[in-house]
């Protein structure tokens, strides 16, 4: 049997047999599609009992036929559309002119680089339809009760397919594109927007989709978007020109925007933004079924957006904190309180550790060998900091800066800083004892100081680092560089006072650079007692 498949705008005449043809991005596929969203062997079109069928080949992003997800082989008819993830494959009926472009152009997302403006429009509580935001569970229960079983099953299948696609998205940008592609594939419209709230609560268009790119540059209604997000309602204007809420918005008449559909992106108690769709009268406007579907899809999208944000946030936090502290920060950041990394004053203990003589030592060593020694040493040292609730500020050449007591308050920050310092010296002794022949013996100076400091995200929009600043930090640095000797742990007076330790010896007074008053620090009288589980340099 012969038929013609249109894939991404290209026509592929094929002769079907019981073995059939395969579609995918792999070299073994009969029809190849150059997109990463399509699996190597994504779907197969074949004859069964003399009739053409299509089946999914356990693809990553799934296969659907005319909007229904394929779980088993399905019969094909002329004009049917198969979606491989978001890529359309159409059976072009014999004798029918093929469209100039593939149907995928209507179904896949189109990110438009555009400065879309938002304008305020008059608002009245009456008119059109406002539907209070409901949880996904409530929506699905409502769908089961109000819709025929076939329609409810179709809705569940659409949402299940969407959930799978969003879970596989790599990064926020790809996730937003997937959301818009899935929405516009199910709800006919002319323009689509995903607007997310920035740090100040302002709605910013993050993704713009247009049915025909470049044909619409009109502003969209900030009032509709803002009301949907702030009041947590889905807004459906059946004809915006006749809607009394927008009667003062002459721009609607000028722009011929006759129907708008907007659903809030809500996850738990947080409003992240909105999905906003527009269409004109000749498209027929939006229907209640569209509102119901968009609201459900917005629930899924909100969860996906929140997941991507948390993943990015966690990735940044893990540069500085132990997994346990990261979990605590993420948990607190989900509350209604201020963000966990907001700048604040806090009581902390700051630790500086430096490998003495490393610069001189490095002059006669191969760079890769040198890097291996330093990386292994830092790995062991950082473990000792994390295991006591400390925060890694940064690596400075052959030095480490860390602090205890922020972002989570720790009443025993001085005690934990000293314990970490002793453990670091013990681990270094173990590393030295197991070092290969020819490797240098490493010695480390450590200075610790306690007091009030300023902690928070510091930097610019492109690069932010969580760090601490203030005189407490400066003194800790001076104690390490100007007082401590190789193998020594030196404490500031406040650290010694807070620790309550008896194994301390007060040193002579020091006049330190940048410190106005003379300082009489303390030395920790520790003895090497290497812990188990620390392996030598290699």
> With b meaning 16 or more CB within 10 Å and e meaning fewer, what string describes 101-135?
ebbbbbbbbbebeeebebeebebeeebbebeebbe
Joined together, the tokens standing for residue 192 give 């689509």
How many CB atoms within 10 Å of residue 454?
A: 17
Whether residue 138 contacts residue 132, with contact meaning beta carbons closer than 8 Å, is answered with no
pLDDT score for 186 = 83
Where residue 406 falls (left for φ over 0; alpha for ψ -120 to 50; beta otherwise) is beta
Segment (H or E) for 311: helix 288-317
Whether residue 15 contacts residue 96, with contact meaning beta carbons closer than 8 Å, is answered with no
How many CB atoms within 10 Å of residue 78?
A: 14
Could you give the maximum distance between any two Cα atoms of the chain, in Å?
99
Kindly report whether the global pTM for this prediction surpasses the value 0.75: no
DSSP secondary structure string, 43-77?
EEEEEETTEEEEEE-S-SS-EEETTEEPSS-EE--
> With b meaning 16 or more CB within 10 Å and e meaning fewer, what string describes 174-210?
bbbbbbbbbbbbbbebbbbbbbbbeeeeebebbbbbb
Alpha-helical segments (H) within 341-441:
358-362, 367-386, 413-433
How many CB atoms within 10 Å of residue 234?
A: 23
Give the sign of the dihedral formed by CA 203, CA 209, CA 213, CA 218.
negative
Q: Which residue has the tokens 């009739």?
A: 51
pLDDT score for 419 = 96
Query: Which residues are CB-neighbours of 358 under 8 A, at least 6 positions away?
Result: 374, 397, 398, 442
Residue-level pLDDT, tens digit, the chain, 538 residues: 888 888 866 788 888 888 889 998 877 888 888 766 678 888 999 999 889 999 998 887 788 888 788 889 999 998 888 888 767 888 888 765 444 333 333 333 334 344 466 766 544 444 566 777 766 555 555 555 555 444 545 555 566 556 655 655 556 777 888 888 888 888 888 889 999 998 778 888 888 888 877 666 677 788 888 889 998 999 887 655 445 555 444 444 445 556 889 999 998 778 999 999 988 756 667 888 888 888 888 888 888 888 887 777 777 677 666 666 677 666 666 544 444 566 789 999 999 999 987 777 777 777 777 888 888 899 899 999 999 999 988 888 889 999 999 888 999 999 999 999 999 999 999 998 888 777 778 899 999 999 999 988 777 655 667 789 999 999 999 999 999 999 999 999 999 999 999 999 999 999 888 888 899 999 999 877 644 444 444 3
């Amino acid at each position: 049997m012969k038929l013609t498949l249109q894939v991404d705008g290209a026509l592929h005449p094929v002769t079907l047999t019981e073995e059939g043809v395969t579609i995918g991005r792999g070299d073994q596929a009969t029809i190849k599609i150059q997109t990463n969203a399509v699996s190597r062997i994504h779907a197969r079109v074949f004859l069964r009992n003399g009739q053409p069928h299509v089946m999914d080949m356990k693809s990553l992003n799934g296969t659907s036929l005319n909007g229904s997800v394929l779980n088993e082989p399905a019969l094909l008819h002329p004009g049917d559309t198969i979606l491989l993830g978001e890529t359309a494959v159409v059976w072009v009926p014999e004798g029918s002119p093929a469209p100039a472009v593939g149907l995928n152009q209507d179904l896949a997302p189109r990110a438009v680089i555009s400065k879309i403006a938002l304008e305020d429009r008059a608002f009245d509580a009456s008119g059109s339809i406002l539907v209070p935001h409901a949880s996904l569970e409530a929506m699905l229960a409502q769908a089961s009760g109000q819709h025929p079983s076939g329609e409810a099953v179709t809705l569940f299948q659409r949402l299940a397919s969407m959930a799978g696609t969003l879970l596989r998205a790599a990064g926020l940008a790809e996730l937003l594109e997937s959301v818009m592609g899935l929405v516009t594939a199910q709800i006919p419209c002319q323009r689509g927007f995903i607007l997310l709230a920035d740090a100040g609560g302002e709605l910013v268009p993050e993704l713009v989709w247009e049915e025909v790119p470049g044909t619409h540059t009109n502003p969209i209604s900030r009032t509709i978007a803002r009301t949907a997000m702030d009041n947590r309602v889905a807004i459906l204007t059946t004809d915006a020109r006749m809607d009394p809420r927008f009667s003062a918005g002459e721009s609607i008449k000028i722009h011929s925007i006759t129907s708008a559909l907007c659903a809030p992106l809500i996850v738990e108690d947080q409003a992240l933004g909105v999905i906003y769709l527009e269409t004109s009268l000749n498209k027929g406007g939006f229907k209640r079924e569209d509102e119901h579907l968009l609201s459900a899809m917005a629930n899924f999208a909100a969860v996906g957006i929140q997941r991507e944000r948390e993943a990015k946030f966690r990735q940044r936090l893990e540069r500085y904190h132990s997994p346990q502290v990261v979990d605590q920060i993420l948990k607190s950041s989900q509350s209604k309180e201020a963000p966990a990394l907001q700048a604040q004053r806090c009581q902390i203990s700051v630790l500086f550790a430096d490998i003495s003589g490393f610069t001189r030592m490095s002059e006669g060593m191969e760079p890769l060998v040198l890097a291996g020694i330093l990386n292994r040493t830092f790995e062991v040292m950082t473990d000792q900091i994390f295991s006591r609730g400390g925060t890694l500020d940064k690596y400075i050449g052959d030095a480490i800066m860390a602090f205890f007591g922020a972002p989570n308050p720790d009443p025993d920050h001085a005690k934990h800083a000293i314990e970490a310092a002793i453990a670091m010296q013990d681990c270094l002794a173990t590393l030295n004892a197991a070092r290969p022949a020819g490797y240098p013996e490493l010695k480390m100076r450590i200075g610790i100081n306690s007091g009030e400091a300023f902690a928070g995200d510091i930097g610019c929009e492109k690069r932010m680092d969580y760090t601490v600043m203030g005189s407490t930090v400066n003194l800790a640095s001076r104690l390490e560089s100007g007082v401590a000797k190789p193998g020594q742990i030196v404490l500031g007076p406040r650290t010694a006072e807070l620790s309550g330790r008896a194994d301390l010896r007060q040193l002579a007074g020091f006049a330190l650079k940048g410190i106005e008053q003379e300082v009489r620090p303390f030395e920790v009288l520790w003895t090497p007692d290497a812990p188990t589980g620390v392996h030598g340099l290699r």
